[in-house]
Amino acid sequence: MAENVLHVENVTMQFGGVIAVNSLTMDVNQGEIVALIGPNGAGKTTAFNVITAVYEPTNGKVAFYHKPMVENYPKGKMKKLYAGQNSSAYTQSISPTPDKITRLGIARTFQNIRLFKSLSVFENVLIAKHMRAKQNVFSATFGLNAKEEARMRAETIALLEEQDLMHLKDEIAGSLPYGLQRRLEIARALATRPKLLLLDEPAAGMNPQETEDLGAFITQIRDKYKLSILVIEHHMDLVMEVADRIYVLDFGKLIAQGTPSEVQDNPDVITAYLGVDEE
């Protein structure tokens, strides 16, 4: 069996009295495309935000290549308020900042595109190279890192060429059409050299043709960059086409998991999700 890349264990995210994610356990293995689906408000993006350390989970653990990356247990005010399970399973609290997660090798895109809108396409991608550079602020200011800077630029150009965005190099990111902004956001995430890519609704706002292309694109980057991919998506066609496995969330709880065909036939999923939100 392929190596485990991401292991999410008993993750509960509680905001006040609302449990957004309830004891979620899921795995992503090497080279897999895993989809996380569920109706609106099911807690999919919250799960992403826990994995990327934007939120500190109330309880639970996230491990990346078997190394605990995020871990927490109910403490402080949450000790009393906590309404989830496994409240005594974890004893340490690891809460890195999101940039550390990215440096470990997890890149993400956002549901509502978050590009650096007034910077050029080239700069948007180049910024992703900053974190792995060995320069310091003095060497960078006085141009003592010329070699490294040149390497960063060359890598950026190579990536833009691979992603077929080279002709837009000097365009302002905010002025690109929607579909290209999505593409650029994925390119920017790839520039951080991730091992795991998290895509938050990459097909939102795309027409059926574009969605189909996106499916092919996701599989293609998985193979090309040897990625594992976790994707949140609403478009069932896309999910059924690309996903190796699917997790279904409803009201924060995992209600089903398995291969696309297994999930498709699961009566719980049909009532909770497919039956209600069919388009």
Footprint on this chain of another protein (rule: CB under 8 A): 52, 54, 97-100, 102-103, 107-108, 110, 114-119, 123, 126-133, 135, 137, 140-143, 145, 149, 152, 188-189, 192
Burial class (CB in 10 A: 0-12, 13-18, 19+), 181: buried
Considering the complex, state which of residue 186 and residue 248 has its C-beta at the smaller distance from another protein: 186
Distance in Å, CB of 129 to another protein, minimum: 8
* Minimum distance, C-beta of residue 181 to another protein, in the bound complex (Å): 12
Instruction: Specify the residue, 46 or 145, whose C-beta has the smaller distance to another protein.
Output: 145
Q: CA dihedral defined by 255, 231, 67, 193, rounded to 10 degrees?
A: 180
Helices 146-162 and 178-191 pack at an angle, to 10 degrees, of 130
Q: How far is the CB of 157 from another protein (least distance, A)?
A: 15
Return d(Cα 250, Cα 253) in angstroms, integer.
Answer: 5
Look at strands 253-258 and 245-250 and give their pairing. Answer: antiparallel
User: Which lies closer to another protein via its Cβ, residue 78 or residue 107?
Assistant: 107
Sign, CA torsion 190/196/198/203: positive
Name the residue nearer to another protein (CB basis): 44 or 129.
Answer: 129
Closest contact distance (angstroms) between CB of 133 and another protein is 6
Q: Give CA separation, 75 vs 10, 57, 65, 199, in Å.
A: 16, 11, 27, 31
Q: In angstroms, what is the minimal distance from the CB of 141 to another protein?
A: 5
Rg for the chain, CA atoms, rounded = 20
Nearer to another protein, 198 or 269 (CB): 198
CB of 147: closest distance to another protein in angstroms?
13
Q: How many CB atoms lie within 10 A of CB 269?
A: 22
Nearest approach, Cβ of residue 52 and another protein (Å): 7
The rounded distance, in Å, linking the Cα atoms of 218 and 206 is: 15
Q: Which of 82, 110 has the CB closer to another protein? A: 110
Question: How far is Cα 116 from Cα 114, in angstroms, rounded to an integer?
Answer: 7
Give the span between the Cα atoms of 139 and 208, in whole angstroms. Answer: 49
Q: Which is nearer to another protein, 115 or 243 (CB)?
A: 115
Q: Given the complex with another protein, which of 22 and 124 has the nearer CB atom?
A: 124
Six-digit token string for 127: 């910024």
Work out how close the CB of 140 gets to another protein at its nearest, in angstroms, rounded to a whole number.
4
Beta strands in 143-204 (DSSP E): 196-200
